[in-house]
Amino acid sequence: MPIPDYQSVMLPLLRFAADRKEHSLKETIEGLAKIFELSEEERIERLPSGQTYVFNNRVGWARTYLKKACLLEDTKRAHFVITERGVNLLGENLDRIDVSILERYEEFREFKNVSHHASKCEVTEIDEKTPAEMLEQAYQTLREELSQDLINQIMNCTSEFFEKLVVELLVKMGYGGSLRDAGQAVGRSHDEGIDGIIKEDKLGLDVIYIQAKRWQGVVGRPDIQKFVGALQGQRANKGIFITTSSFTREAVEYITSILTRIILIDGKQLAELMIDYDIGVSTVSTYMVKRVDSDYFTPE
């Protein structure tokens, strides 16, 4: 079954704690994963940032919301028990516990304050996501818009500028030694399908041949075959083909069937790498997400 949203986790979580025993967050996550019959793939699915598992995040936020409604209470770090209020709520034999149910409690209303999102009896699309998921979604949206802006900017530049951009990116990623050494190799060999040469490491023990195409149309298998032929002419076995567009399925399948090591980087991946390595972008705002340092409050 699909990974449940955090509101769908609330009732099973409260039932899990109905024995009035102390439970750890870890054992609760494992127990609920079995209740929801999640597959191994669903259990290890991560948020876009890769920082945490989706299901763990949703269980964590479900617990937080139940705590804010005073249905659960902490006993120690990452451990909790059900409260008398929680037991009473379970006694109502509800089919579901969600935000609309929690809003009957004043403590939760003060915490949530969702009057500008929806009425008390309405569950909105926003309420389907945890705050962490909403933050990640907003971040991903901004990142995707930035990626497209980067590609648009590149398309308005010259081919020579694009080649220099590619080399600067590869140097930032740890290839090519110094930018000066790498830059000297670019533009020397605009024949036989090779746009540039860059050192694989700072010592120059091996070299990588580059093909950089500022295209709008897709790159097909014939283009990759031409590049491979150029590498063979140089007795080279490593190459990077970078384009602002995309590759056909045949092109991608072709590089898996040859001995020459070819890395394909399409426009989307190129923009992602530029963002990750601060090429052509600058930081506008920084938001730091913090949490309580439990060790600080632990008596020595």
Q: 207-238 pLDDT, tens per residue?
A: 888 898 888 889 999 999 999 998 888 888 88
Amino acid at 3: I
pLDDT at 111: 81
Whether pLDDT at 126 is above 80: no
Band of the pLDDT at 292, cuts 50, 70, 90?
confident
Q: 143-174 pLDDT, tens per residue?
A: 888 898 899 899 988 888 888 898 889 888 88
pLDDT at 168: 87
Band of the pLDDT at 118, cuts 50, 70, 90?
very low
CA–CA distance, 239 with 241 (Å, rounded to integer): 7
Q: Which residue has the higher pLDDT, 233 or 106?
A: 106
Band of the pLDDT at 298, cuts 50, 70, 90?
low
pLDDT at 275: 94
Closest C-alpha to 53, from 75, 70, 73, 33: 33
Q: What angle do CA 80, 64, 85 make, to 5 degrees?
A: 65
Q: Name all domains of the chain by residue range, CATH numbers in brackets.
A: 6-128 (1.10.10), 150-276 (3.40.1350.10)
